[in-house]
Structure 1
Amino acid sequence: MQFTALTSGDGPGSQRKRDLKRRLTSPRSPLLQKLQVGGDGFNLQHPRRLKDRREDAITRRNEQRVSSELQNQQQQCRERFLGRWYHVRQLYAVVSETVTARSEAMASRPKLPPSAGGTSSPSTPAKPSDPLTPAPLHNLTAMSWLIDVAREFRHGFASHRVTMPQMEIAFGSGLQLSLLSARSSTPTAASLRNVFQAFQHESESSTIDYRELLSALVVLDRWREGEKKMVARWFHEFAFPLTENSTAIGDMKMATRGCDLQRMLFTACGDEADEFKMQPFVKELLASMTQRGRSYIAETTFWEYSVLRSCMDTWLVHKRRQDEVAAADIRGRQLQQDLLLLQLMQAERGLMEVEDKLSGAVEARARKSDEMGRRRSFVAATDRVHASRKMQKQKDQRIQYKASRERAVELEAKQAWAAIAEQVAAEVRTATLTWLETAEAKDQINTEATRIFETDAKWIRNELDRDPENAPFRIMPRGCRWQVFLEAPHGAITRKLTKAFYLNTVTYEKYWCGEVVIEECEGIAREVIIQWRIDDALARLNEKEAEWALQRRQNIAATRIQMLFRCRQARSVCRRIIRNSFVKRIDPGSGEIVYFNLARPQETRRRPPKLIDSDEVLIPVESSTWVYRQDIHGSGYYERVDTGETSCGPPDHYILCTRCSVHFVTRRKISSGARYCIGCYANFRYASRREAATVEEESGWTKMPVQPANCMVCRSAAAHFVCTDCTHDATCTRCFNAVHGRLAKSKTHAAATSLVNRASE
């Protein structure tokens, strides 16, 4: 069961108040204890400075307001307490006595079977004519009837505001009593009526908040069980200041001594036993009220401490200024001169504060600008790194792709030449076998067989021992089917038993070098001659392969040179197109150089196109003199690029765009004479391309630099007027009057546009 009057103090607000109290009750710092508050000759009650007097007046008003609010709250709490407490205790005592008597009667009644005549109603104690005298509190027990009554209130009504009949119904249901039949003769009903009148916030109101009544009953029901915290929370509503707290505050009108409050609380007790039971509760109640007073004292002390601290800080600054003036003026001026100097210093201090604020604002703006510059540079560096990595990745991919293609071509060529070499070897072997049957071949076979037969076996063994890797190819040609090897008989590797032998690597025939005969040497010689002819054929084939590879490399180099030349030509063409399509102009908002695309007016770049590379300086500039700018509020003005001069309106003798009337003209249409800025010119060309099937020729336009316009008639004076009906010709005042004043048809022309004194417009 929860009541709004018993709300807990746990929350962010109570946490802040506890922190404030902890700071106020903490000891002062040693430095503040050593300092003499107010200084020599400083009167806190009568401050000399206007600022100090104003602060003291504000502090006194705050203290008076807080004190008056506290007095009002204390007076209201006292009135509520005096008007409610007696009736609440009377109701609790009467109901508790009634419920206790009924419980004792029910317990003492004999358990008899019901009579045949019908069920008998439980006997109720006799109702005396006079009101029941409340029994002593120590004779009462904590009743469960309060829980039943609270449950009836909570379940029976949707709102916490109830009327007198509703309260009687709830009490009657919870106590199982009939309070509506004989309302005037029932003590419980009379107590309820008195309590209802006591808890009415307004005399005209017909409802009360039943949560307040239940909270008061909870206090009387729970004080005997040691739950003093709930009682202290409820008594917070009926508390009034103690004498101890009021002495510290300085207000003794509503003060009550602790013994007097204790005596007032004990008046609700029946005898000494009640007072003895109530004593712990009263002590905790007084401690709680003292703590509340201390909280108020801490808050007041905080305000006084703040005022003293402010006065002390002001005095320290004033004293420091006096010391500086005394050290600077060693000859000692009179009091009037000191006052004048102090006023001058105060004025300078105010100016210095203004300058500090201005410098702080300028520094903050500079830091913000630097931070934005660093951020832009970081973003630009990140974009450059990303672009370079992307380009490097694409370059690596192209290189890898080309290398893979080269490797594939080389592998294919290598496989083709290997197949050709095998085919050549097979054809040479077939032709050589046929040639070996001739007489000339037989002579070579005999000569080679004799050399092999006469070769000493020990010499062969020594060569193989000395150089096992290269010696066999010095004895027999490389690639021959017959090769020379060493063998150790019976597995004993000794120099004495090691022998050399000839081995056919195809048929695995084996001949010992020391036991070979001439017929066997002839067979070996035939294979040697065949291998010689194969080696000659392969040598010629290798020469052809080298010639083919050289020719292939030359073709690749020639193709690459042609591609590089064509790329250079294409790049020069692209750069020329870019120079004709892009214009460098000043961004009105940021003042940075941007690249404007004439072919696509909606496109504006912060960086130049990559293909332009070193030709970026050749991109034309919109204006090298005056440009249109905008401030941080969006208001437009004009700025000169080379000198930094600014103007609210367009400078004199400079012609503005016919369409937007903001930017300076850079193009003029030959057919109509209309002048356009670079943006309007691009939009006009873009719209013409979208509407017409044919593209308008560039020759129909002329370029105009941003410079003061000269008279189209005299060619010497600066132009002052532009007549839209005269093909937008710019003329000086004399020529304009001569042309438009002499011809009758010129008098019907529209009003001319002035080129001077346009700042006020």
Structure 2
Amino acid sequence: MPFAALSSGVDGPASFRQRRLSSPRSPLLQKLNDDRNVRHPRRIKDRREEAVTRQNEQRVRSELQNQQQQCRERFLGRWHHVRQLYAVVSEAMTARSEAMTTRPKLSPSAVGTTPTSTLAKPTDPSTPAPLHNLTAMAWLVDVAREFRQGLASHQVTMAQMEVAIGSALHLKGPSARSALPIAQIESSLRHVFQAFQHHPDSCTIDYREILSALFVLDRWREGEKKMVARWFHEFAFPLAENSTAIGDMKMAVRGPDLQRMLLTACGDETEEAKMQPFVKELLAVMAQRGRSYIAERTFWDYSVLRSCLETWLSFKRRQDEAAAADIRGRLLQQDLLLFQQIETERSLMEVEDKLSAVVDARIRQTDEMGPKRSFFTATERVHANRKMQKQKEERIQYKTSHERAAESEAKQAWAAIAEQVAAEVRTATLTWLKTTDAKDQLNGEATRIFETDAKWIRNELDRDPENAPFRILPRGCRWQVFLEAPHGTVTRRQTKAFYLNTMTYEKYWCDEVVIEECEGIAREVIVQWRIDDALARLNEKEAEWALHRRQNIAATRIQMLYRCRQARAVCRRIIRNTFVKRIDPSSGQIVYFNLAQPQEIRRRPPKLIGSDESLIPVESSTWVYRQDSNGSGYYERIDTGERLAGPPDHYILCTRCSVHFVTRRKLSSGARYCIGCYSSFRYAARRETTNVEDDSGWTKMPVQPANCMVCRNAAAHFVCADCKYDATCTRCFNAVHGRLAKNKTHSPSISLINRTSE
């Protein structure tokens, strides 16, 4: 991808980066003024060089324009297809994740088929930084990982790209075909492949260009086409350091962030190391470009403001002199007033000293209690952390020792099996050698050993004493070949080779061996061949068994991790249904109220809720009940800070306490309760009897102005306890309770307007 913007503007504007290609003028002409230069025309050499310079500048400018036009055409040809692919895959993966999130319960078969993209894997320290720090869509991480791990080269064909993306997005299963638009994704992939071909006849593309385009589109998707166009054309976003000095942070980006995005498409450390010098050079050029622009702008601002500064300094000097004279006069008056105030305040200072002594004593007492409380809290926290760490280390040590014991037992078992197999094969082979079928093979091997030249054996042993014996006889055979001097003198001419039985220590010279002795050696060679074949098959079975064992252990761990994750999700759902966030009346801080245990109020959320703390329901987002330092109650609006002595109009209070706002209603009786009275009522019912009605007999009510239950339009003014606590406006209340005779005997209604705090 060409970087057209690096060839323009790195040294400032054109007027500052022009170079003089001709030789300098003579010192005499340099000393002459402009009038003398006008009378004396320039040299022909200077004019010729200036014409050549202008011609070169025009050619460079035209080449730059052509290059920018080609970049623009290539970007416009790729932009639509890349954006279509990103939109289709993002929408499909978002829909699938939402469907999986809203699924009530997974079947037992789904536990073992967890997508590999959602499993936690150990991070390899040699790999680049995690991609999830750069992207907003998780499927981009899976696609990039599949390309890097599944392909040996960055040049890929259409089929390889479809296989890699299909494996990353899991498009081959029956559930994926029913939930994802596979036809649209494949069509978008074909269009993107055609758009990124450098030549119409080429059948491969560089998948790193597609990854860079997708990551840039994901990173700058808010700016859409404009942001991506700047990325592909210039690769020169202004750095945050230079943009701070300029004052324009709209397009600024931090240098480390830009460096990470440029290195995103690298496959391994080698490619990243090759890319690193270019990235550093690019960042240096961009930084130098910004500094040059800042320096030029600062110089011109300084030259323009210098004259204004001198004028302002003279005016400021006169103004300061006049202000100093005025200040001296006022200081005299202030000194007189200050003397009078000192006399008055001296009498008050004695009272303040006594009060401050009392306050200091209380502060010291509070300060002494604070460190103690902090020390106790820190001690408990350290004790809990050490306990958890100790338990973790014990579990790890137990698992490690168990695995090591299992591996050691397996090694011993396989070693015993290998010895048993070798003994059985030797017995069977010796029995087989006694048959007529083995005579041909035995005679052939004996003939080979008999016909082997002793000098050749000696030369091979001299040349390679470590490996040559195993080329003559198989490794592990009871008969081996050695060199020895017959008469004790070690010379090349007198050294001879011999066969030695390592079990019985029988010895045959290679040049004196007879055919009967060769048959005994050949018999051990054939036995060793059979043993080697059996041990090779046994090693294959051992490797296969070890692979199955590792896969079983990995599958067990994956299932355990998935079950832990599901259990954590269930616990968080229970916590969201059990706890409610509300405002503490005395302190005004957010507390967590337990519906199952009304006496339990926490200052901090439960640890298991984790990042879902924001999903815990809130009692009220408008009006709440508060208490001042004297215990007097009042009502405060959270969003505006408005305070009222009594409850606001049209808001219904709890039937039981008549203080807090209504959040629950019982369907059978119509009674309305606040969150505290509701939890106390349910807790008492659970203690009295085990047969307690479920939450289906209750309904939730938001803290908001109540509307009339009859007309549904006007705000409610009254609540009738005998009408299942239905709220009605004045017109509907009079119409209902004044028309029917039985309704005239109802208890007095509860007004929802003009109320005062009790």
In terms of Rg, which structure is larger? 1
TM-score, normalised by the number of residues in structure 1: 0.48
TM-score, normalised by the number of residues in structure 2: 0.48
